[in-house]
Amino acid sequence: MGCPCKKHNEPIGLHAHGGTWPTDFCLYCAEKHLSYAACFAREHGHEKDNIGFVSGELGGAELHLAAGPEEAKKLAERIRELRHAVQTSRTAPLDQDFVPLLREVAALIDADIAANQSKSNA
């Protein structure tokens, strides 16, 4: 399934299936993985069981951002730090850990949407 940014939906070289790969820069995929991690971390009664899911989804978000421009790479590094904290403490992050990251990726998406709209209006 392609992502909503439509940048990865065309078959190209090794990506002949036309989908998004974990190493492709994609803000939407990063937001999806970060949101999943937050949901797994908040699932009452299963916090310990979900540590692997949380760290895995954080890793997915990190990969999608690491291939992007500098502001995305900085966000990827912050997510990486959170992932390492989860893995070494074996505790789920709290909302205050996720909210700033989710807001930051949302701001990057909003900026991308605005840039694409201004290009299409030109």
pLDDT (tens place) for every residue of the chain, 122 residues total: 345 566 655 555 455 555 677 888 999 999 999 999 999 998 877 778 899 999 999 999 999 999 999 999 999 999 999 999 999 999 888 889 999 999 999 999 999 889 888 877 76
Nearest Cα residue to 55 out of 30, 21, 27, 91 = 91
pTM, two decimal places: 0.84
